[in-house]
Each structure stands twice: as C-alpha cells, then as structure tokens.
C-alpha cells in the first residue's frame, strides 16, 4: 500500500458470530492481495486498498456481489438457504 492508494472499508452485520464466520469464510478465497477480511463479533469488516479509483470500484463491486451471494446462502443452522428474497 502506498500513500496514493484508494481505500474502502466495507462493514456488514450478520446477526450472530457463527453466521458472520461462515459468510467471511465463503468470500475470503476470492480476496486479492490488496484485501483483508476479518470477523468482529457478528460483523464482517473488509478493507480494500487499490492503486486506482477504477481498480477500487471494480474490486468493491465484485466483493459486494460475492458477499450478497454468500449472505443469502448462509443460515443459522448451516444449511443452504432457499429464500429468494433480497437481503
């Protein structure tokens, strides 16, 4: 990371720590070297650093889509969700 990096911090809440861990574990393999995902209680915090605004926008967009998909599939019992409503 350099001083001219573009940065984003995305924080989402998932109701309980177990669900947050499941969702974070689902999205973490897609992280690039410029990303860090942590779990803080029932929240997922992801920090993204990119050298350009366009690169940051693209990375954030990809991450949010992956996060939404993982969150829709996560349930408190660990089973895949069949809920088709937007979250």
Domain ranges of the chain: 6-73
b/e for 56-85, b at 16 or more Cβ within 10 A? beebbeebeebbeebbbebeeeeeeeeeee
Nearest to 64 by CA among 83, 44, 81, 78: 44
What's the pLDDT at 21? Answer: 95
Q: pLDDT tier at 81 (50, 70, 90 boundaries)?
A: very low
pLDDT digit string (tens) for 3-33? 678 999 999 999 999 999 999 999 999 898 9
Bridge partner residues of 40 (DSSP):
43
**What CATH architecture does domain 6-73 belong to?**
2-Layer Sandwich (3.30)
CA distance 33 to 82: 33
CB 71 within 8 A of CB 14: yes
């Amino acid at each position: 990371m350099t001083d001219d990096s573009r940065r984003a911090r995305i924080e989402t809440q998932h109701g309980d720590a177990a669900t947050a861990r499941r969702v974070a574990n689902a999205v973490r393999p897609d992280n690039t070297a410029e990303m860090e995902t942590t779990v803080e209680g029932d929240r997922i915090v992801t920090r993204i650093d990119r050298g350009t605004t366009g690169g940051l926008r693209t990375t954030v967009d990809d991450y949010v889509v992956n996060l939404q998909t993982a969150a829709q599939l996560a349930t408190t019992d660990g089973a895949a969700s069949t809920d088709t409503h937007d979250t």
